Copies of this chain bind each other. A is one copy, B any other.
């Protein structure tokens, strides 16, 4: 996470990470932080919507299908994209359903075939945060819920959505911090890789976040 660190500090940590890892992911990064990183990591790229700096030096890449990331609309895209980037860096192929708010539930139903294919679903929602409950009631796979700070007034910067998700009446829902697309993508990738492998232990995590 780049917040709370100067661009120089971010660049220095990024450089250090890539000495021990073949991947780099810096979340919540400003364009200024990216400029500083690119000085020392020329192959780094900036995912603007996700506000993420990425470098990927893997010799071969896997893309294990099974992760779905769903959200309600435009304003939730930063967190949803952060989850996508994270899971992709962790060897997963990610399907997207980015326009499925509860107030237009027919759009959610249009996406049900894709949703039903997933082994784990990341659901990103601000405002009243109802989407994970609805999705969780429709599927039998783990749902990782990401409240976002989208909204105003009594949304209290994501608190309303967070509380809603923690109180989901659908079981099988795990919640991460407000706007924490990284944490959700990471957890989803862990689950997907384990489900894919059918082995006792999923592979290593992503040792790549300053």
A contact residues vs B (CB 8 Å cutoff):
1, 3-5, 9, 13, 28, 66, 72, 74-75, 101-105, 117, 119, 127-130, 133-134, 136-138, 140-142, 144, 147, 149-180, 182-183, 186-187, 190-191, 194-206, 209-210
Contacts and interface: CB of A to CB of B under 8 A. Distances in A.
Contacts of A155: 163, 167, 177
A153 B182 contact: no
Nearest to A183: B171
A104 B139 CA distance: 10
Contact of A141 (B158, B165, B190): B190
B166 A119 contact: no
Given A187-B172, A190-B140, A200-B119, A129 B164 contact: yes
Q: Please tell me how many copies of the chain the complex holds.
A: 8
Contact of A194 (B157, B180, B191): B191
28 contacts: A1-B152, A3-B75, A4-B75, A13-B74, A105-B137, A117-B200, A127-B169, A128-B164, A140-B201, A141-B190, A141-B194, A141-B202, A152-B177, A153-B178, A154-B167, A155-B167, A155-B177, A161-B167, A164-B164, A166-B175, A166-B176, A171-B205, A173-B176, A173-B183, A173-B187, A174-B174, A195-B197, A195-B200
Contacts of A197: 195, 198
A136 B199 contact: no
A182 to B, nearest CB: 7
